Structure 1
């Protein structure tokens, strides 16, 4: 019973969709019994009669655009004067819209013709001298034309010619605007076609105000692009689904179907490809149009073969459809448009047959109650109706529109419902399974949670203890390694001299050897003292006796006090005072900062040869917003330091070069620790043969701000 109900609903749905097209196909113009042609101004369809269309009662603001349909005047096989001096009785008539091969007296679709129409403008316009802007929308005209308004050329699409060699094909829908200041319009169109199956004005031009026509054209472009955009997005989405699960091929076929229909949309109707890419030829655009239709039909079949594999009828027939479509692709690709467009009826027959075959598969799947078959049946039925519409429309049997993209969008929506239905069922199954698992594990959750918390807590404690022990072990290992390395040389030297005295190798009473041993013990003492100082700095045990001082004055006093020590070694000593006095104050331990200054200064002296220069320079730098630092730079003209040594200079026991007096290798590490305890930092810049530039920076404050705080 339920099956009969939805089948009946489907039949009613199909009839409802087909009714408008059947009505438009069967409708005939009503002619009075007298045989006279109706007055075009009072005709419900407002059609031209004998090359004249009256808009006497037409109001563009109220009634919108007007279709320029009906009987146009025509001159066959000539390109007539756009502003003729002959009467209308010299011309024949032709119905618009229609192709030349579908006229009551059929002609060849190859040739050329001149179409003419006089449009009487609304009555209110005739009583005014006002110049009014109008526009005309020219749809798909087969296949090249030139448009004239009142003897003036306003639009040219392609190149209308007397033969195939003179003609350049193009039928992109265009608009043309013009001004009107008289009672009528004379419209003349030169049309030629030598390249495809249909020729002439087979679609209806529109006349309206410039704003109306522009809006109409833009709307059609937007609709086409929106349809293509939706299809492309859906294609990308289903390609992603395919890459996530390559065993399921139906998303791939569906994505290719969406792409094919998107290409069909862009290459037909408003011909967006040529509109945005004028260099793209009409010939290849037409090939794309035909090939995209073929591809869409093939991928539709492959999609449903994958979705309803158990319901396939006559499997060999599906292979025949696929192979025939592939050969047709090759035929379209290698043949000119004048050849393959003539096989339109073959293509339409192929589409009807393959759509019927797919519909049969879907109906069988529905009867077998396969999952999602009902959605597939409804969607495929709508798509099949759209295919039938296009077959009738492109063969001039009904007046309609190309509904491929519309049918495809409807099909996509139903497929989305299908996917949603599948996910909903999967979700329900997962929810039921989850409920059972909750009931099964409810008694264990609390126990597992408690044990997990305890294990996590123990793990964190063990991890922290392990990290602390690892750090201590690494620090101790590094310290022992550094100490053993630094103490090894002087201890071995002392042992050597003492052993030499015992063995008599070193003469007794030679004081220079005892002096050397004494120097080695002093070196060991310096290492021990520096190690103790560095350890106190790093552990925070050292107490700083900070005072508020003028940092610029303090550095100047240090420079003056150590000037003689530098200049006695024939080294020039310069001081560049870049920080004004009495403007800044610093809270420092003077003795510790003097220790830093002396270390950097005497290192510079140690490695600067006679005749060189040592320069002290102070400046204010803004390391952080509103936080000034005074930077003290000690620059020498020594040999410089290699780039390889620079990153390690402030590490323990690291030595680059040795002078007359060997250092402990801890001085710069102590400098770094003292400056860091003051909230500052140290740095170095150097290059070989260019001297070195050591600096330290300590935070200072504006003297005015400090006085205000006090």
Structure 2
């Protein structure tokens, strides 16, 4: 089912879009073609027809000949018309886009009558004579870039046709675009017929311009009020660019409104609308469907568009026109990429995105038509149906309008869904309001129970935290302060004593031959020995500011705040005697038959040049001397 829908979308775009894109410049089928510079139209009622003067025209390369001079000119050959003269081969060489030439065609009419010619845009200046009368012109024809003045001016002109043979002579020159000549057919017919085509084309272009401009302004306004979503900005700018371009292609109504508009400026504007429109539409798709479009491709497209735009702004038209085919190739790559992504989107979520897919396909197909139309790829051997499609250079405007309509329908659908959701939510809110009192009472009761439960849990957590805090700072064996508590305390007390210039003393205590004790009596007895020593140290100190720490293993630290060296030595002696007095048997000791300790004493007055770690280092050095001097004694480093 999904594959059928995708196929249906493709068929709709392929069959319908070319018809729509041709509506702005409808023409009748060509029944006759010129051969060897002549076309016989004597059997037709030309005043009721609109005939494309296609076929073989006489061609005089690098010659600007007026009607009275054509017979004396050097005929370069009979060439397919309309066509860019870049395709013509003269003397075995393909001619370039720069140059000038004269074309001539004769046609037969059944009687005298007033007829008209519908002349499209000519690259890039021309003069046209009918029966030796100068009938139409645009710009100034010249043999050099300096002597000519380029100008676009599609127009319908009337003339008196004679019974029998009539002659059309056209001088053309081009030094501003990469290809010269005429890409669209000159039409011959009744004045009312051709004016009708002209007016319908202008009306269609103005309709597209107005629709796109309004959509562009509308989407820019959406972005102004909601800047979080950039997709309306990209889409609005793209609509405005295409709207401006619409007035410069097709019937080129802008040149009719502003006849003195400089060709170079107009051409730069038209080219920039193309160069800048490519990254804008890709950025729009990226913002709408970010999962399907790669950031790297979008970034490269932005860089290339910026670079090409700078070239357009800073160089003459004949320079940047040369690089335009390369950008067209890049555009075709992006079109293929966009087409592949749309197929991927359709295969994943066609139901939700079918509008944007349909609009995107319309944009893709009409953009391809425009790229081919503006290139030199069109061949005179193409079937008439294809030539009709590719002779309109404003197809992408039609595709963009269809794309904009699709996006607008998508926005309308989203808006409708939003209103439906709002209605449903409003009904639910009304129902809730009707039972608000019961709901508030129920929610209040639930909230009260929840708060009581939270308070109970917080109380239990506080008890647990207190217990954990206590455990984290206490030695689990002796219940003395541990090394973590010591590290926290010494930093605070060191700064305090430094501020008031008070001394800090430290006793470093080590149990003598404790390993031998464990080996002789076992670890359980060793733990009981450490508990008794720790309890003795704690109870022997009289001041609450004194701190006893189990520093590690059989090592203890006694921190004595605001205590002089002499006082510290006295306290150390007292502690040494009290531990001796415990009388804990230790027959593995070489000092005494009981457990003894060695004590190292340090004392410092904190200042900026010292730190608390030196206090431990000095006491540790003194302890080392106490051990090496026989143990069971108090030592002060330096004494």
Judge same fold: TM > 0.5, yes or no: yes
C-alpha separation between the residues in 1 aligned to 2:182 and 2:359?
34
Quote the residue 1:5 is aligned against: 4
Q: Is 1:256 matched with 2:237?
A: yes
Q: CA deviation at 1:118?
A: 0.9
Quote the residue 2:274 is aligned against: 293
Quote the residue 2:116 is aligned against: 135
Quote the residue 1:427 is aligned against: 419
Quote the residue 2:365 is aligned against: 385
C-alpha separation between the residues in 2 aligned to 1:214 and 1:365?
45
Q: Is 1:369 matched with 2:363?
A: no
> Pairwise mapping of residues 134-283 of structure 1 onto structure 2 (< 5 A)?
134-283=115-264
Distance change in 2, residues 1:346/1:119 (3 Å) = same
C-alpha separation between the residues in 1 aligned to 2:113 and 2:3?
61
CA displacement 1:568-590 (0-9 Å, x = unmatched): xxxxxxxxxxxxxxxxxxxxxxx
Q: CA deviation at 1:148?
A: 0.7
Q: Please state whether the residue corresponding to 1:86 is helix, strand or coil.
A: helix
Is the 2:47–2:189 Cα contact (8 Å) retained in structure 1? no
Q: Please state whether the residue corresponding to 2:322 is helix, strand or coil.
A: helix
Segments of structure 2 that go 5 or more residues without pairing to the other structure are 21-28, 379-386, 438-639
C-alpha separation between the residues in 2 aligned to 1:71 and 1:244?
59
Is the 1:351–1:387 Cα contact (8 Å) retained in structure 2? no
Of 82, 101, 123, the residue aligned with 1:97 is: 82
> Pairwise mapping of residues 684-695 of structure 1 onto structure 2 (< 5 A)?
none
Is the 2:101–2:172 Cα contact (8 Å) retained in structure 1? yes
Distance change in 2, residues 1:362/1:90 (3 Å) = closer
Q: Please state whether the residue corresponding to 2:71 is helix, strand or coil.
A: coil
Of 45, 52, 57, the residue aligned with 2:38 is: 52
Quote the residue 1:115 is aligned against: 103
CA displacement 1:347-392 (0-9 Å, x = unmatched): 2112122333334444444444388422222211121111222222
Distance change in 2, residues 1:424/1:293 (3 Å) = same
Count of residues in correspondence between the two structures: 414
Q: What TM-score does the superposition give when structure 1 sets the normalisation length?
A: 0.55
C-alpha separation between the residues in 1 aligned to 2:171 and 2:161?
21
Is the 1:79–1:112 Cα contact (8 Å) retained in structure 2? yes
Segments of structure 1 that go 5 or more residues without pairing to the other structure are 22-42, 126-130, 446-710
Q: CA deviation at 1:18?
A: 8.6
Q: CA deviation at 1:83?
A: 2.9
> Pairwise mapping of residues 634-673 of structure 1 onto structure 2 (< 5 A)?
none
Of 335, 345, 362, the residue aligned with 1:355 is: 335
Q: Please state whether the residue corresponding to 2:270 is helix, strand or coil.
A: helix
Q: Please state whether the residue corresponding to 1:262 is helix, strand or coil.
A: helix
Q: Please state whether the residue corresponding to 1:57 is helix, strand or coil.
A: coil
Of 61, 65, 77, the residue aligned with 1:80 is: 65
Q: CA deviation at 1:247?
A: 1.4
Distance change in 2, residues 1:261/1:20 (3 Å) = closer
Q: Please state whether the residue corresponding to 1:136 is helix, strand or coil.
A: strand
Quote the residue 2:598 is aligned against: none
Quote the residue 1:405 is aligned against: 397
C-alpha separation between the residues in 2 aligned to 1:11 and 1:371?
16
Is the 1:51–1:116 Cα contact (8 Å) retained in structure 2? yes
Is the 1:362–1:373 Cα contact (8 Å) retained in structure 2? no
Compare relative contact order (CA 8 Å, sep 6+) and give the higher one, 1 or 2: 2
Quote the residue 1:437 is aligned against: 429
C-alpha separation between the residues in 2 aligned to 1:274 and 1:340?
22
C-alpha separation between the residues in 1 aligned to 2:18 and 2:119?
28
C-alpha separation between the residues in 2 aligned to 1:68 and 1:360?
40
RMSD of aligned alpha carbons = 2.7
Distance change in 2, residues 1:197/1:424 (3 Å) = same
Distance change in 2, residues 1:350/1:204 (3 Å) = same
Is the 1:142–1:201 Cα contact (8 Å) retained in structure 2? yes
Q: Please state whether the residue corresponding to 2:181 is helix, strand or coil.
A: coil
C-alpha separation between the residues in 1 aligned to 2:306 and 2:34?
46
